[in-house]
Structure formats: C-alpha cells, structure tokens
Structure 1
C-alpha cells in the first residue's frame, strides 16, 4: 500500500546514497501536533481529576468531546476536532465509558423526620 511516488523517491535515495539512508530515518513523518505534550497531559489530568461542573463549564458530571473541544479552544487557542480529541485521549490510555454515579450517604436525622411525616400522612 505504498504510492508510486514514494517508491520512486526511495529508489532514487537508494541509488544516490545506498541502503544506509533508507534504514536510518531521523525525522518524524507527518505534521506537528496541534497541542504540545504538556498540553496533552494537562487535558488528560483535567479529564481524570475534575468535572465540567466543578470548572463552571456545564452542569454535566463527566467530560465529553464537545465540552473538551470548547475547553481546548478557549484555553489553548487551538481548534481541534472531536475525533482528534477522542484519539488523543485514547493514545493517553483513556477510553469512553458511561458515567457512574455514587449516591450520597443519607442523613439519619432527615430520614427519621421523613418517616414521621410519612406516618402522619398515612394516618390522615
């Protein structure tokens, strides 16, 4: 699955320099990432340690790509697609899961008061 131009370029390099240059590549293919490694790590920690509600972004209790997209654009000045954010989080070892909720412990005094009210309502 290599295009003709790539094969032609590789053959030209081989003819000019030999096999050594083809085997030793000290440059990374592709464009520079939009976000630095530090920014990517900051996003990972943001997702792991906070909720959008805590930062005043939304009433949501979990991050999604739409909220992260807005956050990245506002804080880093970079417009990045939701799919790119999903892939970034996947590379960082995170995957999408449904949010889980933990119910708060009930207040025993309020529960007793509620039971009294229910008993009163049942009697009337």
Structure 2
C-alpha cells in the first residue's frame, strides 16, 4: 500500500495551512488546502478522503500537485477555454453589419427581403466556408445581441381613408348578417 507524503512542503507548516484555510472563501479551494494539512499531520490518504468526503484519487492528485507546484499550483484552477467559435470576431462583425444594414437581395443572396436562419446559414457557408446548424446560428445571433422576429408588412401605397371605410363596411356586414 502506497503512503501519501508531502515531499516538498514549500515552507508551509500545518499551523500556517490552518491559518491560510481561514482566509480562503472558496470552499473547494479550502478543501484542497485542508487535504494537504491533514496529510502533513500524518493522516492517511484513506482517512483524509473519508473526513473530507473526497475520492482517494482526488486526495492523491492534490498531494501530487502540491509536491510539484506548491500552493499556487494547488489553489489556481485552470478552466478550459471551450470549443473555438466557428466564426472569428471580424467575421461576426461583418455578418452583423450585413444583417443590420442590408437585405439578402442587396448582398446578392437571392430575392429574399428579410434575413432568416436559412438565408444566414447560406451566407455563412458561401462567404466564410463554415457550416453551422440553424439553431447554432440562432444562439450566435442572440449572443451578438440580435433577436429573431418575423417581419411585419405595411402597405406603402395603402390609403388610410379607404381602410377606415372598409372596416366600417365590415362592421355593418357583421351586424346585418346576424339579424338575418
């Protein structure tokens, strides 16, 4: 059975670690320091894992990390940056400019008067050689501060007086049709 040991204390004593634990706000980081302190106080890895409700491998990893990198390596957490974006920031800005200032027809992408995810999907493929799903495009647009709405049409040549007269006639027809 392998015994966990602190091979390089990096100048830390159990008393120093106990004081340092009290200053740490993050519970997970405090637990890491507590793990090292308990190992320094001659608890076994199995006992520490039971006391702190950690897996024994996790205790072993914390001790290995502390031995190798010291306290800085133990309490700093490196997060993954995630999957890279499909479009660069410049490409997103160009797409945003196109959507806000133009129409698909003006940009040479068909006869559509409005942008929708199908048209944007085609534009992204043609312009940037990137294939994206329509739901991914929707999420990207939301992240860019754009919202998707259905277009509403207004008839530019419509006569307001004729529309009012039509609505009045419709009301009259409704009233008279009920009487029959």
Q: Scaled by the length of structure 1, what TM-score is found?
A: 0.64
Q: CA deviation at 1:13?
A: 3.9
Structure 1 position 66 matched with structure 2 position 118: yes
Computing the radius of gyration from Cα coordinates, the structure with the larger value is 2
Q: How many corresponding residue pairs?
A: 101
Shift of 1:18: 4.3
Alpha-carbon offset, residue 48 of structure 1: 1.0
Question: Where in structure 1 do 4 or more consecutive aligned residues deviate above 6 Å?
Answer: none
Q: State the 1:15 CA deviation.
A: 5.5
Alignment match, 2:51: none
SS in 1 for 2:106: coil
1:23 to 63, 69, 76: 76
1:1-124 aligned at under 5 Å gives the runs 11=62, 13=65, 16-21=68-73, 22-23=75-76, 25=78, 29-105=81-157
Structure 1 unpaired stretches of 5+: 108-124
CA distance in 2, matches of 1:68, 1:40: 12
CA RMSD of superposed structures (Å): 3.0
- The alpha carbon displacement at 1:89 in A equals 0.6
Q: What runs of 5+ residues in structure 2 fail to find an aligned partner?
A: 1-54, 160-180
SS in 2 for 1:67: helix
Q: 1:41 to 1:19 in 2, by over 3 A?
A: farther
- Relative to its length, the structure with more helix (as a share) is 2
Provide the C-alpha distance between the structure 2 equivalents of 1:56 and 1:63, rounded to a whole number of angstroms: 13
Q: Per the alignment, do residues 106 and 78 of structure 1 end up closer, same or farther by CA in structure 2, a change over 3 Å counting? A: same
Q: SS in structure 2 opposite 1:53?
A: helix
1:14 Cα deviation after fit: 5.2
